Amino acid sequence: MNAPITRRDFFKASAVAGAALAIDGSVPAASPGQAKSCIFLMLTGGPSQLDTWDPKPVAPSDVRGPFSPIRTTVPGMHVSELFPKMAAMADKFSLIRTMHHEYAPIHENGFQLLNTGRRFGDGEACPSVGNVMNFLRGSKTERGNTRHYVSPNTTVETGLDLAKGFEPGFLADRVEFQEAGTGRNFSNESPADWLRTFHTDARDERYTMTGFGQNCLQAMRSVTKDRGRFVTVNMFSTVFDRPSWDCHASPGSLRCSLSDYADSVAPIFDAAFSSLIRDLDASGRLNDTLVVAVGEFGRTPKLNCHGGRDHWANCWTAIVAGGGTQGGRVIGTSDAVAGEPKDRPVHCSELVATIYHAMGVSNATTIPGPDGKPVRVVDAAPVMELF
């Protein structure tokens, strides 16, 4: 099932997928509100679309990169060979392959847009989706002892001293924010206790082997115990001097390369994400828990002189699962080198609108703006093909 495919196979399956996409695009709009919670996985550094979830095996060698595509459980959907666990459960998630924004491809712009739906510019910082949910639904859950928005690690070093959108922004005087610690400090319960809760072998190290995996586990704990409705997990705390998705392969502090993708970055994500989805599904909570995984931009279609890829905001891939969305779909098609959307471009603000829609919040909903006048939660429409 996960054997590398030939170029002929790829073209044949892609034709089938194209027909499926045309059908998916006509799916009637679903009523919002199925998702009770959201786990937002920020793939710090910006994954390369070509080397992850939008492979281009027939592109020139300096574009397609070193990895081969593999089949998934969904006919016509292929992913990089670095993600065999995801390939085996592709019916549980969907891909948006035409993410983009129009601003400079710097980390901070992407963070702002994906966390809030807006770029701040010279104005006041906008509130994150989690903080907006705090305002709309009250800072406390119905149990009265926790807040809606939880994040285990909001300090992310990306080079510029600019806000990244985790904060309450102009809602600062109206909401409370709960920032938990990372890893074992996220809760007082041990990972083994939580694995038992989900009838999983306590010796299973799918989560506990890595900080990101453990934070995914604790995010699941938070939403299933009603101790947080919107949980943000940043996969890495920095893009400097250690592996991340920021694969410049440059000398010095930005030396992370595609070899690091193969050795650690991709396997960590493949194991943690697939385990998170599988355990949410097994516990009966996947349908009411939206899971979104996305980086702040993509990477240049052509390899740089060091064999890495630089920042690229014109086209990249987001992953969406659960929360009333349908699995096994591919939204949008990129061009031959995954450099631009070929059809159905999806702006960052549309992904944010999709999160609100899944959680029962219309994009016409308003909140008090910086001057007290009402502003919409997001100026975009949701990606209805996911529902």
Rounded to 5°, the CA angle 316-212-292 comes to 40
For the chain, helix, strand, coil in percent to 5 are 30, 15, 55
Tell me what the pLDDT averaged over the chain comes to. 85
Q: What confidence score (pLDDT) does residue 18 get? A: 39
Instruction: With H, G, I as helix, E, B as strand and everything else as coil, classify residue 233.
Output: strand
Indicate if the pLDDT at residue 22 is higher than 60. no
Q: Report the DSSP beta bridge partners of residue 331.
A: 96
Q: What confidence score (pLDDT) does residue 299 get? A: 98
Average pLDDT over every residue of 124-133: 93
Count of residues in the chain: 387
Q: What tens digit of pLDDT does each residue of 85-96 get?
A: 999 999 999 999
Q: For the ranges 154-158, 213-217, 226-230, 231-235, which has the lowest average pLDDT?
A: 226-230
Q: What confidence score (pLDDT) does residue 242 get? A: 93
Average pLDDT over every residue of 175-194: 47
pLDDT band at 146 (very low <50, low <70, confident <90, very high): very low
Indicate if the pLDDT at residue 381 is higher than 70. yes
Q: What confidence score (pLDDT) does residue 369 get? A: 94
Q: For the ranges 48-62, 76-90, 196-210, 230-244, which has the lowest average pLDDT?
A: 196-210
Q: What confidence score (pLDDT) does residue 33 get? A: 65
Q: What confidence score (pLDDT) does residue 221 get? A: 87
Average pLDDT over every residue of 372-381: 96
Indicate if the pLDDT at residue 194 is higher than 50. no
Radius of gyration from C-alpha coordinates of the chain: 20
Share of the chain above pLDDT 70, in %: 79
Q: What confidence score (pLDDT) does residue 155 get? A: 85
Q: What tens digit of pLDDT does each residue of 292-329 get?
A: 999 999 999 999 999 999 999 999 999 999 999 999 99
What is d(CA 186, CA 376) in angstroms, rounded to the nearest whole number? 33
Q: What tens digit of pLDDT does each residue of 58-81 get?
A: 999 999 999 999 999 999 999 999
Indicate if the pLDDT at residue 176 is higher than 80. no
What is d(CA 296, CA 165) in angstroms, rounded to the nearest whole number? 12
Q: What confidence score (pLDDT) does residue 259 get? A: 97
Query: In degrees to the nearest 10, what's the CA dihedral of 270, 108, 316, 346?
Result: 120
What is d(CA 117, CA 99) in angstroms, rounded to the nearest whole number? 13
pLDDT band at 178 (very low <50, low <70, confident <90, very high): low
Indicate if the pLDDT at residue 11 is higher than 50. no
Selected residue with higher pLDDT from 121 and 192: 121
Instruction: Count Cβ atoms within 10 A of the Cβ of residue 334 and give its class: 0-12 exposed, 13-18 middle, 19 or more buried.
Output: buried
Average pLDDT over every residue of 32-60: 94
Q: For the ranges 105-109, 120-124, 139-143, 154-158, which has the lowest average pLDDT?
A: 139-143
Q: Which amino acid, one-letter code, is at 3?
A: A
Q: What confidence score (pLDDT) does residue 23 get? A: 31
Selected residue with higher pLDDT from 8 and 263: 263
Q: What confidence score (pLDDT) does residue 153 get? A: 66
Name the CATH superfamily, with its identifier, for domain 7-386.
Answer: Alkaline Phosphatase, subunit A (3.40.720.10)
Structure-token pair, residue 98? 């035409």
Average pLDDT over every residue of 29-47: 84
